């Protein structure tokens, strides 16, 4: 579990208008980071079903080349992936959300950085009705460069995305869900129909930074 590697603590914000969670690496278990992150990053970039098919059908050399073709090549993209993966695992393991579509699996090339909100997370009840839709922006920094304005940048980007009548990420998710005949396609349509009146949207910013520069 993620909580074997990270501690997650709810803090009291200064103005009380939003919730703040402090997440930090547990001392003495840093070596477990790779065990938690490696499979999560792999799943974020390549669907388990596609990876299983590739393992079954491709010879080792071609399999390696195929996997390499899906991995981000630039440092900026690799850092962005790490921020998103940490955010997704916290949403899933701590807050009970599910991620219906992992956007980075749909890149057309290894250097591609898809637009729209970083992560769409949802909660669904036993009747397959969506009870929460979370729009999530994740930012990563390993140096102090620009870190003072990181939350503001993330907030403005998230606000711009969600001010649209139909945020791009939910339209993209609907297209993917329908194309794979996912049972969530119709609940997403029902959510979009009633979005203005149900007030089930939530908004989350994840700031992931090396402890030395925070």
DSSP string over 14-56: SSSSS-EEEEEEPTT-TTHHHHHHHHHHHHHHS-HHHHHHHHH
| Structural domains counted in the chain | 1
pLDDT, tens only, 159-172:
999 998 899 999 99
56 is in which domain, residue-wise? 2-213
Counting residues of the chain whose pLDDT is more than 90, the rounded percentage is 42
Copy the structure tokens of residue 68.
């390499």
Q: Residue 182: pLDDT above 80? A: yes
What's the burial of 51, exposed, middle or buried (CB within 10 Å: 0-12/13-18/19+)?
A: middle
Contact assessment for residue 85 and residue 109, using Cβ atoms and an 8 Å cutoff = no
pTM for this model (two decimals): 0.85
Tokens 């979009």 found at: 192
Higher-scoring residue by pLDDT: 169, 74: 169
Count the helices and strands in the chain (H runs, E runs): 7, 5
What is the longest distance spanned by two Cα atoms in the chain?
A: 58
Model pLDDT, residue 181: 95
Phi, psi (degrees; rounded to nearest 5) at 140: -125, 140
Q: Using an 8 Å Cβ cutoff, are 129 and 148 in contact? A: no
Q: What is the pLDDT of residues 98-154, one digit of tens each?
A: 999 998 888 887 777 677 899 999 999 999 999 999 999 998 877 777 678 888 989
Q: What is the pLDDT of residue 14?
A: 57
Contact 125, 131 (CB under 8 A): yes
Q: Who's near 66: CB < 8 A, 6+ residues apart?
A: 54, 58
Those residues with Cβ within 8 angstroms of residue 18's Cβ, 6 or more apart along the chain or in another chain: none
């Amino acid at each position: 579990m993620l909580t074997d590697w990270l501690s997650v603590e709810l803090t009291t914000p200064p103005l009380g208008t939003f919730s703040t969670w402090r997440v930090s690496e547990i001392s003495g278990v840093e070596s477990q980071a790779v065990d938690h992150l490696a499979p999560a990053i792999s799943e974020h970039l390549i669907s388990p079903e596609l990876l299983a098919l590739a393992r079954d059908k491709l010879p080792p050399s071609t399999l390696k080349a195929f996997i390499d073709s899906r991995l981000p090549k630039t440092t900026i993209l690799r850092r962005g992936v790490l921020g998103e993966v940490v955010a997704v695992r916290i949403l899933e393991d701590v807050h009970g959300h599910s991620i219906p579509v992992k956007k980075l699996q749909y890149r057309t090339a290894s250097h591609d950085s898809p637009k729209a909100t970083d992560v769409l997370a949802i909660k669904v009840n036993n009747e397959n009705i969506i009870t929460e839709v979370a729009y999530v922006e994740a930012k990563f920094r390993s140096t102090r460069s620009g870190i003072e304005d990181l939350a503001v940048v993330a907030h403005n980007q998230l606000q711009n995305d969600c001010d649209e009548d139909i945020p791009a990420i939910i339209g993209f998710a609907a297209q993917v869900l329908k194309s794979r005949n996912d049972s969530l396609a119709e609940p997403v349509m029902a959510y979009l129909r009633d979005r203005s009146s149900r007030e089930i949207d939530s908004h989350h910013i994840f700031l992931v930074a090396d402890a030395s520069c925070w």
